[in-house]
Chain A
């Protein structure tokens, strides 16, 4: 019998090792971090609070998949210094989904409200980005209704760094 066949482990061993590996990773890499006080109710930083219109705007933000291009986390790195204060876990305590994101095709929006204070300019930007920022690569959102644009602008202009530091 060839070595590979002779040394083959029985089915139960493969299934057992798989379950053990996944359970270990799930327990130590998911459950344990999720139960860390640093990401729970005692997390540093203040949670964001939203008005009803901002909540509606946030739903539109999720619906249109804005989180695929914009992150909402100022990282603890030199490159992120101009964005605002470093984001702490407490900032996200009211956030589901958390919209932290992975990729910046567009700029980070954690503290967008501190840069985009005017709601009407933000609406104008969303309808036709290059009319506000020449050469912008952001797609137009002119297909949104006026109410939806207002709600989305209310959400974006309400994103501030207050209480975000860790």
Chain B
């Protein structure tokens, strides 16, 4: 029987074959010529699993220490204005911008990168696409934040609330965010199973939200004038808050089921929380300037969205408490995740209250705003600390040296952040009340020498806030000591690299 004629390859098959051949040639060239060079720098171009995550988490811890020093200096300067008054770089206005940006970008975004680089490989069951690129992104990011800090200290600011970094830093940060997105997305695309776990969904959303909102705000606001600028800067601030919130929730939904041994309370509630956060939080910039010079309809929109944002806050609380309830309690990181979520929800509620027109008439532009920021940033900080405690044994293979110190750190942090939050919010209530009473009487408190009466009224609260900062500093010192000793002396445990997360539903 004659053999059937050989089928000619189709164009697509030919292309695929040529592509495979080309890839084989490239791999051969890479192994022969590029790898020997790159391999000479194992520290800055690492290939071991979790290298990029470790670099980012270490960098976040170091920035955390720097931030604590800056925040403590500012708290002291508020109560004692003469402190370091002779140095231009230590002026309150310059230092305030440095402190805020070190917290947001040095501590929280760096920690967020570490979280994503550690969590995504574990929940999708694939190693990070490129540890080398991830580590390089972390190193670049650290240098950018350092350069930005120096430039802001030298007075090189854009002067726009929330968008203070000089523009070269903005370009660098955009490159880092897009690079991180590329690394994470390529890792996710290579996953063996199609469904995505809730932590992965939150992190994917976060790393899309951050570069988009940052680009829109930072590359538009400097080219706009007047009130228009506030819409762009508000969008940038809200986008950053949303991105960090998504990272925090993603980290919680990853760690909590593992730490407690419980499955996630409800995958559907997790999905709804994600979508509600995405569709309500980007609008909160409009809610920050109620009764200002912007058109009334924009304020109404902001107020409506601030109220709508209460829904994901309640969902997040239910999700975290439902998952943690009745679970194991041997992982000392669990209280940090619960405390962070409670504080975050409270911060969203406080923002909504402050946005309503009547309260805004009294509380707007007062210390109430700082109280809201303290709650939200405190939540981000607790999420990050919980994640570091949870991940150290897993990415480093070293057990935490002293769980009792972790518990002490938790109580110091929660009481420090809690007291600072209440003190700042109370200062806002006092300031608003004094200003309103003054307006109805003689109106002499809100200007010039009369302002000292306002300052005098809130000063005790600022003193309490400074003392609360002392508790936070003490906690951070315990944190650094425990982390350093755990890395150096903690007994070996089995690190988990790409084990799938415990995800399911009780229902």
Contact = CB atoms under 8 A, between A and B. Distances in A.
B25 interface: no
Interface of A: 2-11, 14-15, 17-19, 21-22, 24-26, 28-30, 33-34, 36, 38-40, 43, 62-69, 71, 73, 75-83, 87-89, 91-108, 115-116, 129, 133-144, 166
Contact of A38 (B267, B295, B439): B295
Contacts of B157: 62-63, 65
Given A21-B278, A100-B289, A140-B82, A133 B204 contact: no
A13 to B, nearest CB: 9
**Residue among B292, B360, B455 with max Cβ neighbours from chain A (10 Å):** B292
A57 B388 CA distance: 46
Nearest to A109: B447
B271 to A, nearest CB: 7
B396 interface: no
B224 A34 contact: yes
Contact of B294 (A11, A33, A82): A33
A105 B505 CA distance: 48
B370 A15 contact: no
B449 interface: yes
Contacts, number: 299
A137 B457 CA distance: 12
Interface stretch (B107-115, B190-198, B374-382): B190-198
Contact of B231 (A15, A29, A103): A29
Contact of B205 (A18, A65, A75, A97): A18
A43 B227 contact: yes
A131 B93 CA distance: 21
Nearest to B238: A25
Given A79-B446, A139-B85, A4 B226 contact: no
B268 interface: yes
14 contacts: A9-B201, A14-B201, A14-B204, A15-B204, A25-B282, A29-B298, A29-B302, A33-B286, A39-B294, A69-B92, A77-B361, A88-B293, A100-B293, A135-B455
Contacts of B93: 64-69
B293 A102 contact: no
B45 interface: no
B282 A2 contact: no
Most buried by B among A11, A14, A62, A104: A14
Contacts of B7: none
Given A3-B267, A29-B285, A96-B224, A22 B439 contact: no
B198 A4 contact: yes
Contacts of A133: 448-449, 451-452
A140 B365 contact: no
Contact of A25 (B78, B283, B435): B283
Given A22-B212, A43-B227, A67-B161, A4 B267 contact: yes
Contact of A67 (B85, B159, B446, B507): B159
B92 to A, nearest CB: 5
Given A4-B198, A65-B93, 19 more contacts: A5-B197, A11-B204, A21-B282, A22-B209, A22-B278, A25-B279, A33-B294, A36-B298, A62-B157, A64-B88, A78-B436, A87-B293, A92-B226, A97-B229, A98-B160, A100-B227, A102-B288, A107-B451, A133-B449
A22 B239 contact: yes
B235 A26 contact: yes
Nearest to A2: B504
Interface string B7-41: 00000000000000000000000000000000000
Contacts of B365: 71, 75, 101-104, 108
Q: Which residue, B228, B438, B444, has most C-beta atoms of chain A within 10 A?
A: B228
Contact of B216 (A26, A88, A136, A144): A26
B213 interface: yes
A134 B452 CA distance: 8
Contact of A98 (B188, B226, B431): B226
Contacts of B156: 63
Contacts of A103: 365-367, 369-370
B197 to A, nearest CB: 7
A95 B225 contact: yes
Contacts of A17: 205, 275, 278
Contact of B293 (A40, A89, A135): A89
B98 to A, nearest CB: 9
A98 B504 contact: no
B264 to A, nearest CB: 6
Contacts of A8: 195-197, 201, 267
Contacts of B91: 64-65, 139, 141, 143
Contacts of A139: 77, 81-82, 85, 91-92
B460 interface: no
Given A22-B282, A133-B452, A14 B196 contact: yes
Contacts of B435: 79-80
Contacts of B77: 139
Contact of A81 (B155, B301, B439): B439
5 pairs of A and B residues whose beta carbons are closest in the complex: A65-B93, A4-B267, A82-B443, A25-B282, A8-B195
B262 interface: no
B3 interface: no
Contacts of A38: 295
B364 interface: yes
Contacts of B198: 4
B506 to A, nearest CB: 9
Among B235, B444, B503, residue most surrounded by chain A Cβ atoms (within 10 Å)? B235
Interface string B75-93: 0011001100111100111
